[in-house]
Chains A and B, each alone.
Chain A
Amino acid sequence: MTSGMLTDTTFYKSQQVLVYSPTGSFLGTWWDAPLLSSIKFSINSATTPWVCKLPRTLRNYNSDGTIAAQNIVNVYLFGPGLPSTGLLKFAGKIDAIKPSLQATGEEAVEVTVTSYDSAIADQGITGSQTYAAGTDPLFMMSQNISSPLSADGTNPTSSGNTASYTFVAQTMKSIYDTCLLMLPANWFYRCNPLPASSYPYGASVTINVPPVTAQNTFIIGNDVSSTTLPVDSTQLKNEIYVIGTGTNINAYVTGSDISTYGARIYYKNDPRLTTVAQATTIANGLLTFYDRALYRTTVRVIDYRGSIGAGVGYDIETIKPGQSCQIIDPTLSPEFVSTVMPIVSVSYNFDSIDIECGSRQPRIDGALAQLEAQFSDYTMGT
């Protein structure tokens, strides 16, 4: 029997924002923090920062001594179905502090908390790192996971593919993106905040491939209200030409769908490629990545917590990017069953999430990749 009070964690979901010094000493709790929202967890990318607006006066916004650059902020969730010690949903460091004063008299301080996993774009290698032929790209990735990131203990140990490559002056993200091209289709990486028991905190990196069967099934009219299911082949590329360094160091592969879509060429020049085998591996990876129609669907899923008696909703805390999902509309005859798609991003809004599912991964440098594709795109007339 629930008490019906808003603080009853057997019924409602709540959050606690705990703040620590950079060395891990507990400083205090932000009781005035708004509910965690507008953060996006994605595959092949870092979590977006959390911009937290605290209603505090300009003079005394740091009266509790918690707001200082590089302090650690951990957001824990409590509620039904969650660990009694709390679920660490977001962890990061304070990177920006913006006190504001409005003409209306409103005073607030906006604190930007950057997730630990942003390290994938901030850290990397300055020299070179060579992996000989026969190396599993998974091994290359796991060798390049450095603090504050660590490998997820559930990562597979073998992908079935082998390759060789020399990484030169690259960020972790750049290394991972290259490794994804050497792995079989659909592999991804995802960063997860580590639980508090693993101080000094950080994030673990999951590297895996979404299952071909659906881990999540969303039924229209029950779990989700509506959706759109676009299929877009405007960015499809089925003819890949990769050029490396040296005489005749190149590779050319074409997809079997040239007869369907016509030839759409993509050029790639990578000076790090020094053998034909390396160029072929990257060309195959690019063909696998680009030679597919883009399915991109967004659905909003509502949390069941807070309305347990109503018997509706989904356990949104179990949904993570990189899982597989399927959308079913039973009202159609015959019922519509979508293809099984990977979840590429989860935008978190505390009581609901917006899921992007699709056949292609978003990237931090997605816009650059699109631009690069357009520059080499003679079929689109750009």
Chain B
Amino acid sequence: MQQFYPKRCAFEIHEVRRVPISQSDAVRQRIVVSSEHGRLFPQALSEYFGKQPDVERLDLDVEQVNGGEHVTVVVHSHVAPHTWTLSATELDRQRTNHFDTGFDHCGMAQAAVASWHAHCQKHTDGV
């Protein structure tokens, strides 16, 4: 008989590596008042960067740039710190049904990781 491997829970919660994130009080408060998925953004960052063994920690802050509020993510790793910026109003975009294109915490975290990869590549290439 052919061996059957049933579907099962893919991984345990404690196996997930989460990178420590330090958040300023301002960004913490900004995230709390954002949206359901905006509030999960720090966790998504922590877990997606957790898949990158070189990343040690993240700093999250909010700052005013040209009159607009921006959330900055500083990635500390084996290369020079990398800063990735996101408009704070992005976090407020609500999902009111299954097909809304509200704030996508996982997609944004992946974008931040991609940006960090590009930064590392530049560093390696000496650009």
Check A256 for interface membership: any CB of B closer than 8 A.
Answer: yes
Interface size (B, Cβ < 8 Å)? Answer: 40
Interface size (A, Cβ < 8 Å)? Answer: 54
Chain B interface main SS type: loop
Chain A interface main SS type: loop
Shortest beta-carbon distance from A306 to chain B in Å: 11
What are the residues of chain B within 8 A of A155 when measuring CB–CB? 14
Do residues A216 and B9 form an inter-chain contact, with CB atoms below 8 A?
A: yes
What are the residues of chain B within 8 A of A210 when measuring CB–CB? 13
In the complex, the number of residue pairs spanning A and B with C-beta atoms less than 8 Å apart equals 117
Do residues B32 and A257 form an inter-chain contact, with CB atoms below 8 A?
A: no
Do residues B35 and A212 form an inter-chain contact, with CB atoms below 8 A?
A: no
Q: Which of B37-45, B70-78, B79-87, B117-125 contacts A (4 or more CB under 8 A)?
A: B37-45
Please report the C-alpha to C-alpha distance between residue A1 and residue B16 in the assembled complex, in whole angstroms: 37
Check A16 for interface membership: any CB of B closer than 8 A.
Answer: no
Shortest beta-carbon distance from B38 to chain A in Å: 8
User: Interface residues, chain A, CB within 8 Å of chain B?
Assistant: 1, 81, 154-156, 158, 160, 184-186, 206, 208-217, 223, 229, 231, 233, 253-257, 260, 284, 287-288, 291-293, 304, 308-309, 311, 313-315, 318-320, 322-323, 336, 338-340, 359
Please report the C-alpha to C-alpha distance between residue A228 and residue B97 in the assembled complex, in whole angstroms: 13
Please report the C-alpha to C-alpha distance between residue A338 and residue B95 in the assembled complex, in whole angstroms: 12
What are the residues of chain A within 8 A of B20 when measuring CB–CB? 158, 160
What are the residues of chain A within 8 A of B11 when measuring CB–CB? 211, 215
Do residues B96 and A260 form an inter-chain contact, with CB atoms below 8 A?
A: yes
What are the residues of chain B within 8 A of A256 when measuring CB–CB? 33-35, 91-92, 94
Do residues B44 and A212 form an inter-chain contact, with CB atoms below 8 A?
A: yes
What are the residues of chain B within 8 A of A320 when measuring CB–CB? 9
Interface 1/0s, chain B 1-31, versus A by CB < 8 A?
Answer: 1001011111111101010111100000100
